[in-house]
Amino acid sequence: MLSTSSATRTDPVMVRDPDPALDLRPAEAVDAPALAGLHVAARAAGGIPTPYADHEVLAWVRGWLADAEAGTDVSSQAAWVAEDDDGIVGYARWTPTWLDDLYVRPDRWRHGVGTALLGLVQAHLRDGFGLYVFAANARARAFYARHGLAEVARHPAEVNPERLEQVELAWPPTAPDGVRGPAVGGT
């Protein structure tokens, strides 16, 4: 069965078997403080440094929320949140070929939030997408592997502000023409 309350109200794309208490909806400007806090908390709990001050993360989130709200559809950039009675518990942000962010509040890890958000992204980006994950983030790498994403490349630590090696993943892992992964170029 396909459903989520906000996804069915605002978008023709829906998610398989969501947690009935979980609501997926487009992110709004008012969500910026919660998303910035969630971003920092999830990275810290996962052992991934955030090389920016909290006010810089908030400004960054406000910038991409403004960009996402300016678009009329997913053709440029989209940002969605997962929320329940405890507020925002996760978010995903993507472009037509790239999953930029998927973060879940640490106290909600392994409760289906990431799966619901990833399912939403996969439903929107049926032709495939790529993403980066830090090599040191074993939890995230295992999550993506369980959901059918495959490693397509590795990138040295020198190419990002965190100074951590990145693994490039793709979904679907093999395109119909036999080429591995979608035609992507990360941000």
For residue 121, give the H/E element and its range.
Answer: helix 113-124
160-175 residue pLDDT tens:
778 888 999 999 865 4
40 vs 12, higher pLDDT: 40
Q: Which helix or strand (DSSP H or E) is residue 167 part of?
A: strand 166-171
Q: Which long-range contacts (CB under 8 A, 24 or more apart) does 83-89 make?
A: 83/22, 83/23, 83/25, 84/19, 84/21, 84/22, 84/23, 85/21, 87/34, 88/31, 88/34, 88/35, 88/38, 89/22, 89/38, 89/113
Domains of the chain with bracketed CATH: 5-127 (3.40.630.30)
pLDDT, tens digit, 9 for 90 and up, residues 64-107: 898 777 764 445 889 999 999 999 999 999 999 999 999 999 99
Instruction: Give the pLDDT confidence score for residue 174 in this predicted structure.
Output: 59
pLDDT given at position 103: 95
For residue 176, name the pLDDT band (cuts at 50, 70, 90).
very low
Q: Is the pLDDT of residue 186 over 80?
A: no
3-state secondary structure of 183: coil
Q: What's the pLDDT at 12?
A: 35
Residues 96-146 pLDDT 10s:
999 999 999 999 999 999 999 999 999 999 999 999 999 999 999 999 999
Residue 10 has pLDDT above 80, yes or no: no
pLDDT at residue number 171: 95
From 16-25, 50-59, 124-133, the region with the lowest mean pLDDT? 16-25
Strand order in 23-26's β-sheet?
23-26, 78-84, 87-94, 99-104
Predicted model pTM:
0.80
